[in-house]
Amino acid sequence: MPAPARIRWLPVRVLLLGSGAREHALARSLSADAEVQALLALPGNPGIAQVARCVAGDPTDPAAVVRLAREEQVDLVVVGPEGPLVAGVADALTAAGIACFGPTAPAARLEGSKAFAKEVMAAAGVPTAAAHVCTTLEQARAALSATGAPYVVKEDGLAAGKGVVVTGDLDVALAHAAGCLSRPGGRVVVEDFLDGPEVSLFCLADGRTVVPLAPAQDFKRAGDGDTGPNTGGMGAYSPLAWIDEQNPGLVDEVVAAVALPTVREMARRGTPFTGVLYVGLALTAAGPRVVEFTPGSATRRPSPSWPASGRRWPGSSWPRPRAAWPSCPRWTGRPTAASPSWWPRTATPSPRAPGTR
């Protein structure tokens, strides 16, 4: 059977939303792509300004983003942070006929609400920690009593990776819950502690199926030895040689048990998920359990797994908008006759790097 024809792309003008290190990494890859004719960033940062034209403005304002995209004749908008997605930027761009890489606001609720994510996981049969959704301090106190230490308290909404407290001190847990509940519409999720190393898996999703990239591991707590408060990220690395050695089937397992069921449940609800689904996992003695999801074009933290995966579209270092994606067969871990030419040739990449976890 002849190989499928490779897709040819016209030069495009790209608008990148965001101002962090993640967006800087995306900007570097986009600027190096021969198919990117022009790269703009809203608002960008000094590092991004070295490879793109930065424009002042609010990336969470859908009308402003659409207006800028039209004025600059942008072909594709790549959204880095979760804020613009939750605010409906992808919805507004799609309505304006402008391609956007990132989920709609209803789909972005997977990150915008941890309570909603728990609801989706329960419906999809995805393994995760048992949880209590609390709207009062009394409920939070009862939930903490039920779970016991170590206590895990998560702010329900977006918190830039800093809304989670893991502590053995009940007073600290209650204080965090009280602070979250004091905000308008405040809710917290109190859940069982998941013991085990944390690993992240990034999956490209087109609303029906997923393609996994390489796993990565990041570190969030500020102090040495995993002590101190959570941050937006203290560093990350990939590939994970210890995963290849200890659990070579992890990627297939997570795709089958977590990523695909989640994407299919979102489609069943009429809110198909497109973009990058970040699956944060704890590798417990009972198996992988989901700690959190993050939708978007990347994670909250710069992702070293994007280049490590080797899974890119032909001649390109960036993913294509959903409208341009070929039909994808169900993920089986193997290419099929129906697989597009960019489909990964192996179920799990096996890169090796010096050092282990």
Extents of the domains making up the chain:
12-104, 130-191, 198-324
| 141-166 tens-digit pLDDT | 999 999 999 999 999 987 666 688 99
Architecture of domain 130-191: 2-Layer Sandwich (3.30)
* Cα pseudo-dihedral 209, 200, 308, 226, rounded to 10: 170
Specify the higher pLDDT residue, 288 or 218: 288
The string of pLDDT tens digits covering residues 308-345 is 333 333 333 334 433 333 333 333 333 334 333 333 33
Q: Which CATH number fits domain 198-324: 3.90.1410.10, 3.30.70.2740, 3.40.50.1820, 3.30.470.20?
A: 3.30.470.20
Instruction: Give the span between the Cα atoms of 265 and 262, in whole angstroms.
Output: 5
**Higher pLDDT pick, 233 / 124:** 124
CB half-sphere exposure, 134, CA atoms < 13 A: 28
Q: Is beta strand 131-134 parallel, antiparallel or unpaired with respect to 76-79?
A: unpaired
Q: What pLDDT, on a 0 to 100 scale, did the predictor assign at position 345?
A: 32
Secondary structure of residue 171 in the 3-state scheme? helix
Query: Which two structure tokens, joined as six digits, stand for 31?
Result: 């600027």
> What string of DSSP letters covers 180-234?
HHTSTT--EEEEPPPPS-EEEEEEEEESS-EEE---BEE--EEETTTEEEE-S-S
Q: What would the pLDDT profile of 233-285 be if each residue is shown by its tens digit?
A: 677 888 999 998 999 999 999 999 999 999 999 999 999 999 999 999 999 99
Which residue has tokens 């830039």? 160
Task: Give the mean model confidence (pLDDT) for residues 71-86.
Answer: 94
Q: Judge whether residue 62 has pLDDT over 80.
A: yes
- Decide: helix, strand or coil at residue 88: coil
Predicted local confidence at residue 7, as pLDDT: 54
| CA proximity to 148, closest of 184, 193, 104 | 193
159, two tokens: 């918190």
Residue 350 has pLDDT above 60, yes or no: no
CA 80/CA 59 separation, integer angstroms: 10
DSSP classification of residue 38: E
How many whole angstroms separate alpha carbon 139 and alpha carbon 190? 10
12-104 placed in CATH 3.30.365.10: no
Q: At residue 134, what is the residue type?
A: C
Burial 133-147 (b: 16+ CB within 10 A, else e): bbeeeebbbebbeeb
What is the C-alpha separation between 44 and 208, in angstroms, rounded? 32
Mean pLDDT of the chain: 82
- Return d(Cα 215, Cα 251) in angstroms, integer: 8
Coil, helix or strand at residue 1: coil
pLDDT band at 4 (very low <50, low <70, confident <90, very high): low
Check if the beta carbon of residue 124 is closer than 8 Å to that of residue 302.
Answer: no
**pLDDT at res. 308:** 39
Which position has the higher pLDDT, 120 or 157? 120
CA distance 197 to 201: 13
Q: What percent of the chain has pLDDT over 90?
A: 67
- In one letter, which amino acid is 258? V
